């Protein structure tokens, strides 16, 4: 269903539509919105979900620290507007995130965490309101039954005071998280839930509904994608990177080709280090690798002439002679710099894009090593790069939890010998910039870190720290040459 084709909402139901701050997203929005709103709402929600994700890994979920930080991120506009935006943006992101298993899993996880945070935030009365409004009447266990099961109930519900608290019984399929960890008493297929655990049940419900809805959305997607206005927006969203895109080159020519080998060890993220090494060893890279690495190099400041020289000199050492290079490969390098044809897609790839699109196959070296490498091989590589065993374990844990960018961030912290990277990694060029900043700094580093922390705490700004500091970074880059004189 195309949003812009729907009729405007009919009056009276508008009052009921947003009468609660929380909803299950059972009904899609019916109003008209502009394409700008479409994109803005979606991007804002995406930023919020990414914040949820980052907080969820860096803090204990639902701890005070977590809640405070999340509070700070939720902007302060009118309640009605907020709820309307919440409604619409959720459905837009469904369109973008229903397409693959990976996208669906990510989306469901963040939406669940967000929902849990908001549900827990509700007053008890509002919680009950919510349950009633959504026809979630969980059976209450009768007093006699409770008495007869008393010992067993106490033995299975941690921290429960027993008779005073209401118990609900639901089919065990609705309380899987509690069943899995044996935190609930089971009898004849029913789980006996103490009232305070009701959020777990509600969440289970939420997840089931959303999962089904996404599957259905995926089926009707072709109809939506055929709308030319929406297709590019949706595609952008699912590969979305919500920060600086490094498409506008800064510091062109500040890096010389001779520095690249050293830089690859010091300041390149693992994916690019991997690509550079493969290029040096094989004197060749396939298309996927050339794109990912070539655009990255452009992003760190290589000029077109430098890039051509770089690729040609390497390829010529291999099976490609200078003529063939000029005929076959030079074109695509120029393309990357916008000098050929009219391509829109020559911005350096963000982490999301590297992780989610174009998985590498045999003979490829592109992709994200944390996502695409076998953990054993990843471990070996990290060992070769002299990462400590405990560091490697931390990285592997993050990989197991599918937090690939955080794993890379951890790699940054370990190789730069800092406890906290001070930024949220989303882009390989961001990695490079931050690394250079760190390595060339001194007194300035502390200032940088303070500034980035302050901007994270400021609720009014939803921009990433790196954006606030990009001017600083630009100035810092000037010291690059002097730093390498010691080598």
Partner 1 sequence: MSTSDYDPACLPDLLPLYYRRLFPFSQYYRWLSYGGVSKNYFQNREYQSFTTQNELEKEMQKMVPYKIDIGAVYSHRPSQHNAVKSGTFQALEKELVFDIDMTDYDDVRRCCSAADICSKCWTLMTIAIRILDRALREDFGFHHLLWVYSGRRGVHCWVCDDAARKLSVAARSAVAEYLSLVKGGEETVRKVVLSDPIHPFINHSLSVVERYFQQYAIVDQDILGSKESVDKVLAVLPEDILSFPDLAVSFKDEKDPMKRWNLLCDLVLRKKSNSKKGGQYFDKEIMLQYCYPRLDVNVSKGVNHLLKSPFSVHPKTGRISVPIDLKELDTFDPFEVPTISLICEELEKPRAEEAEEDDMKDKENEQEAGERRRIRDYKRTSLAKYVKVFDRFLEAMARSRKGEMLKKSDLQKDF
Interacting residues toward partner 1 by CB under 8 A:
152, 154-156, 158, 172-173, 176-177, 179-182, 185-190
Task: Please indicate if the annotation marks 351 as binding a ligand.
Answer: yes
The length of the chain is: 487
Nearest residue to 70 (alpha-carbon basis) of 50, 90, 88: 50
Task: Please indicate if the annotation marks 408 as binding a ligand.
Answer: yes
Residue 356 C-beta-side C-alpha neighbours within 13 Å: 25
Residues in a beta bridge with 395: none
Residue 185: CB minimum distance to partner 1, A: 6
**Between residues 77 and 155, which has the closer beta carbon with respect to partner 1?**
155
**Between residues 217 and 466, which has the closer beta carbon with respect to partner 1?**
217
Residue 156: CB minimum distance to partner 1, A: 5
Residues near 365 by Cβ (< 8 Å), separated by ≥ 6? 274, 275, 278, 279, 285, 286, 289
**Between residues 108 and 131, which has the closer beta carbon with respect to partner 1?**
108
Residue 170: CB minimum distance to partner 1, A: 13
Residue 210: CB minimum distance to partner 1, A: 13
Q: Which long-range contacts (CB under 8 A, 24 or more apart) does 104-109 make?
A: 104/211, 104/214, 106/53, 107/49, 107/214, 108/207, 108/210, 108/211, 108/214, 109/53
**Between residues 180 and 343, which has the closer beta carbon with respect to partner 1?**
180
Q: Answer yes or no: are the C-beta atoms of 283 and 312 closer than 8 Å.
A: no
Nearest residue to 409 (alpha-carbon basis) of 476, 355, 347, 351: 351
**Between residues 152 and 317, which has the closer beta carbon with respect to partner 1?**
152
Residue 22: CB minimum distance to partner 1, A: 24
Question: Which DSSP letter does residue 168 get?
Answer: E
Cα separation of the two ends of the chain = 61
**Between residues 192 and 325, which has the closer beta carbon with respect to partner 1?**
192
Can you tell me the distance from the alpha carbon of 200 to that of 214, in angstroms, rounded to the nearest whole number? 21
Q: Answer yes or no: are the C-beta atoms of 290 and 332 closer than 8 Å.
A: yes
Q: Which residues are annotated as a binding site?
A: 271, 351, 368, 408
Q: Which residues are annotated as a binding site for [4Fe-4S] cluster?
A: 271, 351, 368, 408
């Amino acid at each position: 269903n195309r949003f812009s084709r729907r009729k405007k909402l009919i009056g009276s139901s508008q009052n009921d539509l947003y009468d609660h701050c929380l909803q299950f997203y059972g009904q899609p929005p019916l109003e008209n919105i502009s394409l700008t709103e479409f994109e803005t709402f979606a991007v804002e929600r995406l930023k919020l979900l990414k914040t949820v994700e980052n907080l969820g890994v860096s803090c204990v979920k639902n701890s005070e620290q977590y809640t405070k930080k999340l509070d700070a991120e939720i902007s302060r506009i009118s309640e009605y507007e907020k709820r309307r935006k919440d409604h619409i943006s959720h459905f837009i992101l469904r369109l973008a995130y229903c397409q693959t298993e990976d996208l669906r899993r990510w989306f469901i996880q963040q939406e669940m965490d967000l929902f849990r945070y908001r549900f827990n935030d509700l007053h008890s009365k509002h919680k009950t309101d919510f349950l009633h409004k959504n026809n979630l009447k969980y059976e209450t266990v009768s007093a006699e039954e409770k008495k007869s099961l008393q010992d067993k109930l106490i033995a299975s519900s941690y921290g429960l005071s027993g008779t005073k608290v209401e118990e609900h019984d639901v089919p065990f399929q609705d309380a899987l998280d509690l069943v899995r960890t044996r935190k609930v008493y089971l009898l004849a297929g029913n789980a006996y839930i103490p009232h305070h655990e009701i959020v777990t049940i509600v969440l289970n419900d939420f997840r089931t509904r959303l999962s089904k809805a996404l599957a259905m959305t995926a089926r009707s997607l072709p109809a939506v994608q055929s709308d030319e206005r929406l297709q590019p927006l949706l595609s952008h969203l699912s590969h979305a990177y919500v920060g600086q895109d490094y498409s506008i080159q800064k510091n062109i020519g500040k890096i010389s080709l001779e520095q690249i080998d050293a830089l690859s060890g010091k300041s390149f993220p693992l994916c690019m280090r991997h690509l550079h090494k493969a290029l040096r060893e094989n004197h060749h890279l396939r298309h996927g690798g050339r794109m990912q690495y070539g655009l990255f190099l452009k992003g760190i400041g290589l000029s077109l002439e430098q890039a051509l020289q770089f690729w040609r000199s390497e390829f010529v050492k291999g099976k490609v002679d200078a003529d063939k290079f000029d005929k076959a490969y030079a074109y695509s390098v120029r393309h990357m710099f916008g000098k050929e044809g009219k391509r829109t897609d020559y911005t350096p790839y963000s982490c999301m894009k590297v992780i989610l699109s174009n998985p590498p196959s045999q003979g490829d070296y592109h992709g994200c090593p944390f996502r695409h490498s076998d953990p054993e091989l990843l471990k070996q590589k990290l060992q070769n790069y002299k990462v400590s065993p405990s560091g490697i374990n931390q990285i592997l844990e993050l990989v197991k939890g599918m937090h690939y960018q955080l794993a890379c961030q951890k790699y940054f912290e370990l190789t730069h010998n800092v406890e906290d990277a001070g930024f949220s990694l989303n882009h390989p060029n961001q990695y490079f910039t931050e690394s250079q900043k760190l390595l060339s700094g001194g007194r300035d580093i502390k200032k940088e870190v303070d500034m980035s922390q302050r901007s994270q705490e400021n609720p009014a700004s939803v921009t990433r720290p790196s954006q606030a500091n990009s001017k600083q970074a630009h100035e810092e880059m000037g010291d690059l040459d002097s730093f390498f004189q010691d080598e």
